[in-house]
Structure 1
Amino acid sequence: MNTNSDMPRCRIGFGTGHLGSSIERAEAVNLVRCALDAGLTHIDTARLYGDGRAEAIVGEAIADRRSEIFLVSKGGILPAHNGWPRRILNKALSTGRRLAGDTLLPAPRWNEPRFGVFDVSDLRASLETSLEKLGTDYLDLFLLHEVEASHLSSGRVIQALQDWVKEGVIRSYGIASTPLQSRDLLASGVGFSFVQTAASVFDCNANEFVGGEHKTITHSWLGPALARFRRAFEMDQDLAIMAGSVLSIDVRQSSQLAAYLLRHALASNPEGTVLFSTRSPERIREMVRTVDGGALSPDEHDRLMSVVARVADVSD
């Protein structure tokens, strides 16, 4: 198992999956810099993100601040091929599909990401592309993106990762997979310093990934849960009133509910890192202030779970 696995100083990290696709480049660069200025030191990106553009955005944002950052990227999923000839053809095909109907002219397969790219030579090429786009000669953490146990059965990938740690191009490695994939990988006995996976207040699944010899990074705590709360409160106004009273917050204010959920995420992963993403500089600062307030107390946790149970009954 690789051992160079120091965690960043801040308990939360900034995810960049939304950069490069839904945000203009200048705004995206400014957003990453805002995260750094707010005190976030863990920046999470991937070859896939933003159709392959997110890493370059992160690289521009951190150009003069690399030493401050715990920089994470991923390999194993490659973005769709979207050079300018393909973009022109995609646009023409999109127009054709709209006129002819999707079933008559299906979307081209080259417009889809490539999953399961864990051949050692391909993985190395992906890593080198990440380093180039990020403007660095090493990653603090390299994660295998949606890797499955079968991808690692030969031992060649793990051996390559260990060699790259010795070479200095990565300082540690781990997995960034679904909860189901992560369970299988941990059961396989392959050693990782980091396990990154999705978690939810509705599934209460974080505990099974916390502890042991690895360190845990969780994500997806806020967006899906907030949407589910919002739907439930719209369906049942009495539930919204009850939830506000139990939690002592205004549940109509998503920022207050997000802060409560983040504090729960921190309590569920006490030694690890919780990732979040946002398009709002002010929301970044709010999340940092939330961390300063500490994790949920046991009483606050019990109150939250009572509300979660009611919301689940309404929204299932």
Structure 2
Amino acid sequence: MTLSLPVTFLGDRSGLSASILGLGCSRLGSTLSGCGGAAAEALLRHALDAGVTLFDTANIYGQGESERLIGRALAGRRDEVTIVTKAGQRFTATQRVVALAKSPLRQLVHRLPGLRGAIASRRAAPLPRDYSPAHLQGAVEASLRRLRIERIDLFLLHSPSAEAIRQGAPFELLDRLVQAGKLRAWGISCDDGAAAREALRLPSVAALQLPLDVAQAMRPALTQAAGQGIGLMLREIFAGQAGDAAARAAALRVALQFERSVALVGTTSARHLDEAVEAARSITSPPSRPLETSA
């Protein structure tokens, strides 16, 4: 039985409602995280049972394994969840070859600490970007298959620069995919304020995803955007606060003060997720951000 957790309406442009907490799934299926298979599926089902209804992933997370895990774990409960995925970043040819050896690499990582460091360093480097309509069309179809769904609730361009947004290559395609029923709505995951400001100029953008520190620096613009029907997902809320539960709760309170917002908790620990859920339940909604309670 699903427990109660406050939910918020993400705005008229998407028409989506979701729990005020979302699970960030970037580490599920990762070679380094060690959270894959049955353990990852159990975490996903635990999150849903705890009242978390929004799951945020991307086609590159775990080389696609994050999406596959979500598809398997949440099968049969599609009407209870809001699924967010992203595309626009690509692996290099070397990374695609390495992905084929993912299972043995995961075993070696536990035996060879130096290998873990090498993989982590490699991952820190920026990936190539491709926001062409051809690439995104294929990415959407592949994500639908991995997620085992017929429509993505919210599809995000993954970390485009302000200049890439100004060029506007994929927007007509994304609007067509909404009309075709492949996407319910689309938005942009931004890494900085310049990209976010460009994104807010687009009439079809239904939601933004931002680091919390970027959102705080542009709060007035985001308040105005909420009034225009644009939703917000906040990430990197607990950056630099490992081991400090009080600081994490305070950061979560800051995130949940934004209108039409969902706070994303990226974790592979059921205990840490439960801590965030309990903190969110204890936070009183400000009057400007009415919340409903899920059944």
TM-score band (shorter)?
0.7 to 0.9
TM-score if structure 1 supplies the norm length?
Answer: 0.71
Q: CA deviation at 1:259?
A: 1.9
The answer as to 2:107 corresponding to 1:118 is no
Report if the CA contact (8 A) 1:206-1:218 is conserved.
no
Report if the CA contact (8 A) 1:8-1:41 is conserved.
no
- Check 1:37–1:162 CA distance in 2 against 1; reply closer, same or farther (3 A cut): same
Could you tell me which of 12, 16, 20 is aligned with 2:29? 20
Report if the CA contact (8 A) 1:16-1:54 is conserved.
yes
Show the counterpart of 1:226.
241
Code of the residue aligned with 1:84 in structure 2: it is L
The 10-residue stretch of structure 1 (51-60 or 67-76) with the greater mean CA deviation from structure 2? 51-60
Q: CA deviation at 1:50?
A: 1.8
Q: CA deviation at 1:4?
A: 5.0
Distance 1:134 1:86 in 2: 20
The answer as to 2:278 corresponding to 1:259 is no
The 10-residue stretch of structure 1 (207-216 or 67-76) with the greater mean CA deviation from structure 2? 207-216
Matches within 5 A, 1:88-103: none
Distance 1:110 1:9 in 2: 31
- Larger strand proportion, structure 1 or 2? 2
Distance 1:271 1:64 in 2: 28
- Check 1:116–1:261 CA distance in 2 against 1; reply closer, same or farther (3 A cut): same
Q: CA deviation at 1:209?
A: 3.1
Q: CA deviation at 1:26?
A: 1.6
Report if the CA contact (8 A) 1:182-1:197 is conserved.
no
Q: Give the aligned length.
A: 260
Code of the residue aligned with 1:30 in structure 2: it is A
Report if the CA contact (8 A) 1:5-1:193 is conserved.
yes
Distance 1:281 1:111 in 2: 26
Show the counterpart of 1:308.
none
Show the counterpart of 1:312.
none
Show the counterpart of 2:148.
135
Q: CA deviation at 1:9?
A: 3.4
Pairwise CA RMSD:
3.6
Q: CA deviation at 1:260?
A: 2.3
Unaligned runs of 5+ in 2: 1-10, 108-113, 287-295
The answer as to 2:278 corresponding to 1:292 is no
Q: CA deviation at 1:56?
A: 0.7
Report if the CA contact (8 A) 1:38-1:284 is conserved.
no
Show the counterpart of 1:205.
217
Unaligned runs of 5+ in 1: 92-97, 103-108, 231-253, 298-316
Deviation by residue 1:4-23 (Cα, 9 ceiling, x = unmatched): 51233311111001111112
Could you tell me which of 235, 253, 260 is aligned with 1:271? 260
- Check 1:31–1:190 CA distance in 2 against 1; reply closer, same or farther (3 A cut): same
Structure with bigger RCO (C-alpha 8 Å, 6+ apart): 2
Residue 218 of structure 1 aligns to a residue in which SS? strand
TM-score if structure 2 supplies the norm length?
Answer: 0.76
Code of the residue aligned with 1:119 in structure 2: it is S
Show the counterpart of 1:150.
163
Instruction: State which structure, 1 or 2, has the greater radius of gyration over its C-alpha atoms.
Output: 1
Report if the CA contact (8 A) 2:165-2:199 is conserved.
no
Distance 1:167 1:200 in 2: 36
The answer as to 2:93 corresponding to 1:78 is no
Code of the residue aligned with 1:11 in structure 2: it is I
Show the counterpart of 2:16.
7
